[in-house]
Chain A
Amino acid sequence: MGLLVLLGLFALCVVIGVPVAFALGISAIAAFAYEGLPLMIGFQRIISGINVFSLMAIPFFIFAGELMFHGGIAMRLVKFASAAVGAVRGGLGIVNVFSSMLFGGISGSAVADISALGSILVPVMKEKGYDADYAVNVTVTSSIAGIIIPPSHNMIIYAIAAGGGISISKLFLSGVVPGVLMCLCLAVAAYLVAVRRGYSAEKFPGLTALALSFVGAIPGLMTAVIIVGGVLSGVFTVTESGAFGAIYAFVVTLLVYRSLTLEKFRIAVVSAVRTTAMVMILIACAGAFAYMLTFYRVPNKTVDLLTGLTDNPIMILLLINLVLLVLGMIMDMAALILICTPIFLPVAASIGVDPYQFGMILLVNLGLGLCTPPVGSCLFVGCAVGKLPMEKAVRTIWPFYIAILVALMLITFVPAISLTLPSLIGS
């Protein structure tokens, strides 16, 4: 009954147009009240939803993106990008996917990826005539490469939840091929959608123009060099690198390009705050909502409902995927990893699935959940930086979901995709 209050009130709020963040908060608090729990705890959950250090990547990368946009770095990146890949239909979409693949190699989280690349690439793509929904869809879905391609905070959580015996470095290696595979699928989707929408290809402007645009873009491209170099050499963590991205963008636009006026700086700050606050309040209220879902043992009950339905290993794996996908739609990752791993891992092991491979299945599923409504932090950030209503983004996102599902099925039924690389390097 309480669960009905939670879900029913949430749906009602969304339908009548209450902002999604407050729909989550209102329904969660109503469920707290219904259960006679102290309401102070409800608001504690809202605060704790964002009292998380690694979420700090969101404001930093968004701020860096705004500074780059208003300070002219982004414009020069557009010139270079269109000179380089403009001749390919959907070229920027494909570049976007592969940027995520590379950034996934340094960032531990999808939220850092979407905040960093989304803040820069979505405005760039819109500028080049791509539809906002296409730009947001590509960026949102490819951001989950940050989780699958090592390093990854969430893999560490999985290893701990598995109760020991899982080597984190081996787990990291297991993610490389599935991550690349997923990005390839997404790149194909990005290309096909671009062709279908008839995004026109530009004429290749010639090597001289390409070289000139490259020189102009060097300071912008250096942002990536600084972040990657700083993280790999141990100067700062990925979260901290976001602050350096923002400081670097400030210095370059102020001193090198001399294009940052006080007014442009003010606009960049105000707009970074607006986007950050929109995302943070969503994640905050989703925290209270997730607490009540955990309280009602929704993940456990869903699993109970489905186990024992079949003995067929293929059906069991498909059911596990289905349950994880559905749960991933309404709750964020970390809690689900902790709840689902101890329940599903033994089931998977009993039908001969390797724990390293199972980790990949789990993470891709829950990663996809980050890109789906109603609760998905990557979708939240993507829509916020793309200034796009959620329903608009979701209406056209399905080709990208299909791409991820194709990758997911391959990862689920072809163990070698996850296990070959670690066995080659590990021995």
Chain B
Amino acid sequence: MDDTKPHADFMTPVDTALDRIAGLCKLITGVSMVVLTAIFGWLVFGRYVLNATPTWVEQAALLLVMVIAFLGAAVGVHEHTHLSVSALRSAVPDRLRKVFVIVTDLAMAGFGALMLIYGARLTVFKWDSQIPLIQLPEGLRSLPLTVGGGLILVFSLAHLVRLALGRDLRSDTIQ
């Protein structure tokens, strides 16, 4: 992006806020990763040493993986770290590339919105039944997808705004 374009100041606090949200997600997912590892240590210790298997670990672990996957994926959208094929996009003329980037962001935002809406409906639908062995609502399983979807929506819209302001951060859109 060329630096001659005027920076839009209203975006600066928004960027800061989004970075903070991503930072919070990193904290939550990081803690989840550490807890996940620790409870597996406890699982093996309980089964092998105490001969009393903590029966809640498996189900709790699956929930933690959901948190890591979907909040982590949202952070990945914010930071552009997901695996994508950029060869084709970088081979087309600049104007077409800009169209590609806008459509990509729109598609991501739309998908995030659907994750948010249908994830929420799934969460409500399953709230009544319980996950066996941990006595928590089955709906918790789809909550990370719901929240992650909302964040993907927000982060993708922010990419679009930055693009419009000439402040996009993607390596292959700067030129």
Contacts and interface: CB of A to CB of B under 8 A. Distances in A.
Interface of A: 13-22, 25-26, 29, 39-40, 42-44, 46-47, 50-51, 53, 55-56, 59-60, 63, 235-236, 240, 242-244, 246-247, 266, 269-270, 272-274, 276-278, 280-282, 284, 380, 383-384, 389-391
Interface stretch (B5-13, B101-109, B157-165): B101-109
Interface of B is mostly: helix
Q: Which of B30, B37, B71, B81 has the most CB of A within 10 A?
A: B37
19 contacts: A16-B104, A17-B86, A22-B107, A22-B111, A40-B118, A43-B118, A59-B68, A60-B40, A63-B33, A236-B44, A242-B40, A244-B40, A274-B75, A276-B69, A280-B72, A281-B69, A282-B83, A383-B83, A384-B83
A278 B119 contact: no
Given A235-B48, A281-B73, 18 more contacts: A13-B104, A16-B103, A26-B110, A40-B125, A43-B122, A44-B122, A50-B69, A51-B65, A56-B61, A244-B41, A246-B37, A274-B81, A276-B69, A277-B73, A281-B72, A281-B76, A389-B83, A389-B85
Nearest to A235: B48
Interface residues of B, number: 56
Given A40-B118, A40-B122, A273 B82 contact: no
Contacts of B61: 53, 56
B33 A276 contact: yes
B62 interface: yes
A278 to B, nearest CB: 6
A100 B172 CA distance: 36
Contacts of B88: 14-17
Contacts of A63: 33, 37
A84 to B, nearest CB: 30
Nearest to B146: A43
Q: Which of B33, B88, B101 has the most CB of A within 10 A?
A: B33
B147 interface: no
Interface of B: 26, 29-30, 32-34, 36-38, 40-41, 43-44, 48, 58, 61-62, 65-66, 68-73, 75-77, 81-89, 100-101, 103-104, 107-108, 110-111, 114-115, 118-119, 121-122, 125, 141-142, 145, 172
Nearest to B119: A43
Contact of A280 (B58, B69, B86): B69
A291 B162 CA distance: 36
A50 B84 CA distance: 20
Contacts of A39: 114, 118
B53 to A, nearest CB: 11
A270 B26 contact: yes
B101 A53 contact: no
A242 B44 CA distance: 12
A273 B73 contact: no
Nearest to A23: B84
A243 B83 contact: no
Per CB-CB distance, the 8 closest pairs between chain A and chain B, nearest first, are: A277-B72, A243-B40, A19-B82, A280-B69, A281-B73, A17-B89, A16-B100, A19-B84
Contacts of A16: 88-89, 100, 103-104
Contacts of A13: 104, 107
Interface of A is mostly: helix
B44 to A, nearest CB: 5
Contacts of A391: 85-87
A26 B44 contact: no
Q: Which of A19, A244, A384, A391 has the most CB of B within 10 A?
A: A19
A266 B30 contact: yes
Contacts of A46: 145
A28 B89 CA distance: 22
B68 A277 contact: yes
Contacts of A235: 44, 48
Contacts of B115: 43
Contacts of B84: 14, 17-20, 389
A18 B14 CA distance: 24
A242 B65 CA distance: 14
Given A17-B88, A246-B37, A56 B65 contact: yes
Contacts of B71: 277
B138 to A, nearest CB: 11
A40 B124 CA distance: 11
Contacts of A14: 84-85, 88
B75 A389 contact: no
Q: Which of B69, B77, B107, B142 has the most CB of A within 10 A?
A: B69
Contacts of B68: 59, 273, 276-277, 280
A273 B35 CA distance: 12
A276 B84 CA distance: 16
Given A18-B104, A59-B33, A278 B75 contact: no
A47 B108 contact: no
B151 to A, nearest CB: 12
A29 B81 CA distance: 23
Contacts of B76: 19, 274, 277-278, 281
Contact of A47 (B26, B104, B145): B145
A55 B61 CA distance: 11
A277 B29 contact: yes
B168 to A, nearest CB: 13
A278 B37 contact: no
B87 to A, nearest CB: 5
A19 B83 contact: yes
A272 B29 CA distance: 10
